[in-house]
Every structure is written in C-alpha cells, then in structure tokens.
Amino acid sequence: MTRINRRIILLGGGVTAALGNPFLALAHARVEIEMRGTSRGERIWFDPIGLAVAPGTTLRFTNRDPGNSHTATTYHPQIFGRARRIPASAEPWNSDYLLPAESFEITLTVPGIYDYYCIPHEMAAMIGRIVVGTPDSAGWEGPSGDRDDISNEVLAALPTVDAILANGRIGMEDRP
Ligand SMILES: [Cu+2]
C-alpha cells in the first residue's frame, strides 16, 4: 500500500490535471472487466473493451459467460512469443482459463498502454485495452510499435488511447 501511495504522489501534476476526470481519481479502486458472450456463442467480448485507470488500480476479470471459458492474456514475448503490447517494464500476465463465474485479479502500476486478448477467442476479436495513467504520467511507456502478429481486423476492434482517455470506459454499447 505504501508503495502505491508513493507512486500516486509522484504523479503529482498528472493527478491534478485529471481531477476533471472522475475515473482517474479512483486510485486504489478495484475495477471490474467482464467476459461476456451471447447464449449460443455467436459473439464474445470483454466489457468494457477500453478502460482508463489510475496507476495502482486492481482489475478484476470475471467470466460472466455461462457458455464459454475465457482468458485475459497480455501480448508479450514471454507468453506464446507474442509481440509486446504492454509497457516494457510491466510484468506480463495471463489469467489462464476462467470457467463461468471465476475471476482473476491483477494490479497495474506502470503507466502506459496494455493490450490483452482471450487465448481461444482472439480471432473473434475478443481483445481489450487498458490505459494506466495518462501520457504525461511519470514513467509513461507508449506502445512498443510491434504489431505485426495481430491481424488488422482484430486490431481494428481496439478503441484508440484518445477515445479511452476521453471516455474513461468504452463498453460494447459505445461501439460504432
Ligand atoms: Cu474468450
């Protein structure tokens, strides 16, 4: 807890600038991301698909799809050799398979962009993006630039960082 507090204090100006954005003021909060699906499995998704949180926020992924197992897995060379799509100094994470009603929690401290996917459903564009802090946060790390191993169709499902920071949360109901 002490370490997280120190990180928040170090953010200083970034937090002050973000006071107009209530979602960024929720440091230490636990935020829920649901794994959802239609009853016959025609569509599956993370809800929200785009989320902005303060550094130190704990995310809880819960499988609310009664018909499928899902994972929340970071794009990282240490996990199935994928191109990195999280900050370089962040630890990769993988929930492994969550049965219906099971949960997985992870606390993100390094400011930057985290893209993740569901192992069995990546090709169905079951992917998501979490933005931790803002680009002016101390220690912010942008994308690695490695995007060769994701199809353009799947990448197109991800909301932009600007849209996530402007809205705080982008759910399926907000998709064009
Ligand atoms: Cu899935």
Q: Is residue 23 part of a domain?
A: yes
Q: Is residue 22 part of a domain?
A: yes
CA 80 vs. chain centroid, Å, equals 19
For the chain (length 176 residues), average pLDDT per consecutive 10? 40 42 59 92 92 96 96 96 94 97 97 97 95 93 76 90 96 69
State the first-to-last Cα distance of the chain, in angstroms, to the nearest integer: 39
92 CA from centroid of ligand 1 (Å): 18
175 CA from centroid of ligand 1 (Å): 19
What local confidence, expressed as pLDDT, does residue 79 receive?
A: 97
Q: Is residue 94 part of a domain?
A: yes
Q: Is residue 55 part of a domain?
A: yes
Q: Is residue 143 part of a domain?
A: yes
36 CA from centroid of ligand 1 (Å): 8
Q: Is residue 145 part of a domain?
A: yes
What local confidence, expressed as pLDDT, does residue 23 receive?
A: 53
What local confidence, expressed as pLDDT, does residue 41 receive?
A: 77
Q: Which domain, by its residues, includes 155?
A: 3-171
100 CA from centroid of ligand 1 (Å): 11
Q: Is residue 133 part of a domain?
A: yes
What local confidence, expressed as pLDDT, does residue 11 receive?
A: 40
pTM of the model: 0.82
109 CA from centroid of ligand 1 (Å): 25
45 CA from centroid of ligand 1 (Å): 7
What local confidence, expressed as pLDDT, does residue 172 receive?
A: 77
Residues 6 or more apart in contact with residue 3 via CB below 8 angstroms:
none
Q: Is residue 21 part of a domain?
A: yes
d(C-alpha 129, C-alpha 118), whole Å:
12
What local confidence, expressed as pLDDT, does residue 19 receive?
A: 44
44 CA from centroid of ligand 1 (Å): 6
The CATH code of the domain that includes 110 is 2.60.40.420
97 CA from centroid of ligand 1 (Å): 9
Q: Give me the number of domains the chain comprises.
A: 1
